[in-house]
Structure 1
Amino acid sequence: MVTHVTCAIGDQGAGDRPAAWQRALSEAFVDLEVTAGRDRPWTAELTARRLGSLQIATEESGPGTVLRSARAVAADPRTHILVRRQLAGTALLLQDGRTAELRPGGTAFHDARRPFRIVFPERQRARILTVPRALLRLEERHLRALTATVVDETAGGAAALLLPLLDGLVDEVGRAGPARREHLARTAAEILATVALDQAGRQPEPALWERITASLTARLGEPGLTPRDIAGEHAISLRYLHLLFQRHGTTVGGWLRTRRLEAAREELARPGPVHRSVAAVAARWGFTSPSHFSRAFRETYGMSPAQWRRTAAGNGRGPRPAPPTLSDGGRIERTARATMEHV
Structure 2
Amino acid sequence: MLTTVSCALREPAPGDRPAAWQRALSETFVDLEVTVDQGRPWTGELTAQRLGALQIATEESGPGTVLRSARAVAADPRGHILVRRQLAGTALLLQDGRTAELRPGRLAFHDARRPFRIVLPERQRARILMVPRALLRLEERHLHALTATVVDEAEGGAAALLLPLLDGLVDEVGRAGPARREQLARTAAEILATVALDQAGREPEPALWERITASAAARLGESGLTPRDLADQHAISLRYLHLLFQRHGTTVGAWLRTRRLEAAREELARPGSAHRSIAAVAARWGFTSPSHFSRAFRAAYGLSPAQWRRTAAENVHGPRPGPPTLSGDGRIELTARVTMEHV
Please, what TM-score do these two structures have when normalized by structure 2? 0.58
1:138–1:202 CA contact under 8 A, matched in 2: no
TM-aligned CA deviation for residue 37 of structure 1: 1.0
Superposed displacement of residue 157, structure 1: 1.9
State whether structure 2 residue 90 is matched by structure 1 residue 86: no
Cα deviation per residue 1:183-238 (whole Å; 9 max; x = unaligned)? 0000000000000000000799xxxxxxxxxxxxxxxxxxxxxxxxxxxxxxxxxx
Confirm or deny: 8 A CA contact 1:54 1:189 kept in the other structure: yes
Q: Which residue number in structure 1 is paired with residue 267 of structure 2?
A: none
- Report matched runs for 1:1-343 at 5 Å: 1-201=1-201
Offset of residue 69 of structure 1: 0.1
The list of structure 1 runs, each at least 4 consecutive aligned residues, that deviate by more than 3 angstroms after superposition, is: none
SS of match in other structure, 2:48 = strand
**CA distance in 2: counterparts of 1:88 and 1:154, whole angstroms:** 16
Cα distance in 1 for residues equivalent to 2:154 and 2:113: 29
Q: What's the secondary structure of 1:148's corresponding residue?
A: coil
The DSSP-based 3-state class of the residue aligned with 2:155 is: coil
Residues 60 and 124, structure 1, Cα contact 8 Å, conserved in 2 = yes
Structure 1: where are the runs of 5+ without partners?
Answer: 205-246, 248-343
Does structure 2 retain, via aligned residues, the 8 Å contact 1:107–1:150?
A: yes
Q: Is the 8 A contact 1:39 1:62 kept in 2?
A: no
Report SS of the residue matched to 1:15: helix
**Structure 2, gaps ≥5 residues long:** 205-234, 236-343
In structure 1, give the amino acid aligned to 2:187: T
Distance in 2 between residues matched to 1:202 and 1:73, nearest whole Å:
29
1:10 CA drift (Å): 1.3
Query: Helix, strand or coil for the counterpart of 1:58?
Result: strand
The CA deviation at 1:75 is 0.3
Q: Take 2:117 and 2:128, find their aligned partners in 1: how far apart are those partners?
A: 15
Deviation at 1:156, TM superposition (A): 2.2
**Matched position secondary structure for 1:154:** helix
What is the aligned-residue identity percentage?
A: 86
Provide the secondary structure at the position in 2 that maps to 1:77. Answer: coil
Distance 1:39 1:198 in 2: 42
Greater CA radius of gyration, 1 or 2? 2
Output the CA distance in 2 between the equivalents of 1:201 and 1:126.
Answer: 25
RMSD of aligned residue pairs (Cα, Å): 1.4
Q: Is the 8 A contact 2:105 2:153 kept in 1?
A: no
